[in-house]
Structure 1
Amino acid sequence: MDTATNNTAAAMPQLFDLTGHVALVTGGNGGLGIGMARGLASAGASVAIWGRNAERNRAASAALKANGADVADFACDVTDPEQVSAAMELTIARFGRLDSCFANAGGSGVRKPFTQLSPGDWQSTLDLNVNSVVYTFQAASRQFMAQGSGGSLVVTSSVAALLGVPGGGYSATKAAVSGLVRSLAVELAPAGIRANAILPGFIATEMSLNTPKAFQDACLRRTPSGKLGTVDDMAGAAVFLAGPASQYMTGHSLVIDGGQSIFPM
């Protein structure tokens, strides 16, 4: 084995070591977010969990702390820019810095036939899945710039951004945030800030398992891996995108769907 190969092998564990790293996960008290938070904490990161439900926040924090993680939770409705700013101040007061921001909070929004969506329905889905990301990424980017350290922005989009999914504005909002990270990747690169998206397929969560069984069965049929994803399938992607292993990746959409988006059955 030559010297270059030896050096690469020796450096490999460090690429996934997040010791001293501070990560923020919105919607981190359950679902996809808790899978990300667990992965980040297991790699050595300190983790800030934001969520609207203070009780669920505390429960998620307690579970991570039981495994030795450095975690703090903050109640925040990320559709409200003032709450986002306040939660960011509290996060920085607690941890002293921020290195990665996972804008994961979101949801299905209003599911109605397109012709029946009211202006209010449309606006609420935009607030939930797009405006919340904008507010969160603005606050995180300002902090990265103030530190002068760069950072990693990651949004939870969906394979629905690539596929035609009925039910109103969900696909549109997920496509929007996938486009947002491409714009931010270009604009924020001089500040050392990277921006990427994770596009999960059907991952078994409390929310997804409340969808009609026919929909779940259809997702499973078109997933060549033959199984639904779990929240722990989000952990590796979170660690990869947060830290040095992905230092030259920006503006990318990382699909985690067991092949669902490429299998036309």
Structure 2
Amino acid sequence: MADQLETLDLNSYAALGDSFTEGLNDPAPDGGFAGWADRLAGLLAAGRPEGEFRYANLAIRGRLLDQIIAEQLPQVRRLAPDLATLCAGGNDILRPGADPDEVAERFENAVVALRESAGRVLIFTGFDTRGVPLLKHLRGKIATYNMHMRAVADRNDCAVADLWSLRTLQDRRAWSEDRLHLSPEGHQRVALLAARSLGLATADDPAEPWPTEHPHSPAEVRQENIQWAREHLLPWVGRRLRGESSGDHVEAKRPDLLPL
């Protein structure tokens, strides 16, 4: 984790969202998941007396925007953190027929409510999916949603972390094998971006180029795509058809503000 160069006047942080914020595919020492939000909390806590900074992570994989509003917003009212992060709506946008304008309107309603309970709020744009099979066809909808996110941030005095413009996240090494969730290094780069979006200087740069990698042949790429479809895409589609969610029976990993 990068060295911290300064501190912010924040003593507590609550993260809301879905699998992205829960930290899927970034293994933690306790056998669960860490993720960018845990890593951001570490950056914010660095240099402080032990136990002074408190952190909660309310995010649960598979959650849609309305579920996040219903389940997680009331918890933020109870916790009243100095900082809250909200990344939501991505699972809604992935659904057929989803209207990014309508999703963004519901998102802004959530931000307005969140601003009443948290001292500062950080939101995120969506990723650029230009190189992702199938999801690249949703790029226009995601771009439209992102324009709304920037407007929501302006109207509600929120910080915004621009994932779309972070080109290092377009490298396949930023993503885990399922191509839907970040790798540990991808989560670290998002944590650094989030910290900088809040005004915290970091020694490491989230836009630092990746080391040069030997390019894969077309045959290797095809084989990887076939294996990905078999192991990850088909099960994901199957859950959608059955009306199941990966977050069924999953609870928030850190529901209370606890010292790091």
What TM-score do you get using the length of structure 2 for normalisation?
A: 0.51
Going from structure 1 to structure 2, the CA distance change for 1:138 and 1:174 (only over 3 Å counts) comes to same
Structure 2: segments with no counterpart, 5+ residues: 27-33, 46-52, 211-260
- Matched residue SS, 1:122: coil
Match of residue 37 from structure 1:
37
Match of residue 7 from structure 1:
none
CA distance in 2, matches of 1:100, 1:208: 27
Structure 2 counterpart of 1:152, one-letter code: V
CA RMSD of aligned residues (A): 4.3
Match of residue 122 from structure 1:
97
- Matched residue SS, 1:230: helix
Deviations 1:15-43 (A, max 9, x none): 4x475031314122233894311222212
Q: Does 1:13 align with 2:13?
A: no
Match of residue 175 from structure 2:
204
How high is the sequence identity, in percent, across the aligned residues?
A: 12
Deviations 1:183-223 (A, max 9, x none): 1233224xxx333422232422253079xxxxxxxxxxxxx
Q: Does 1:175 align with 2:143?
A: yes
- Matched residue SS, 2:96: helix
Shift of 1:138: 2.9
Match of residue 216 from structure 1:
none
Structure 1: segments with no counterpart, 5+ residues: 1-11, 54-75, 111-119, 211-227, 247-253, 260-265
| 2:196 aligns with one of 240, 243, 246 | 240
Match of residue 152 from structure 1:
121
CA distance in 2, matches of 1:144, 1:101: 11
Higher helix share: 1
**1:52-91 paired onto structure 2 within 5 Å:** 52-53=60-61, 77-80=63-66, 83-91=68-76
Shift of 1:84: 1.0
Going from structure 1 to structure 2, the CA distance change for 1:182 and 1:153 (only over 3 Å counts) comes to same
Q: Which has the higher contact order (CA 8 A, sep 6+)?
A: 2
Going from structure 1 to structure 2, the CA distance change for 1:245 and 1:89 (only over 3 Å counts) comes to farther
CA distance in 2, matches of 1:196, 1:89: 24
Is contact 1:103–1:137 with CA below 8 Å preserved after alignment? no
Going from structure 1 to structure 2, the CA distance change for 1:208 and 1:146 (only over 3 Å counts) comes to closer
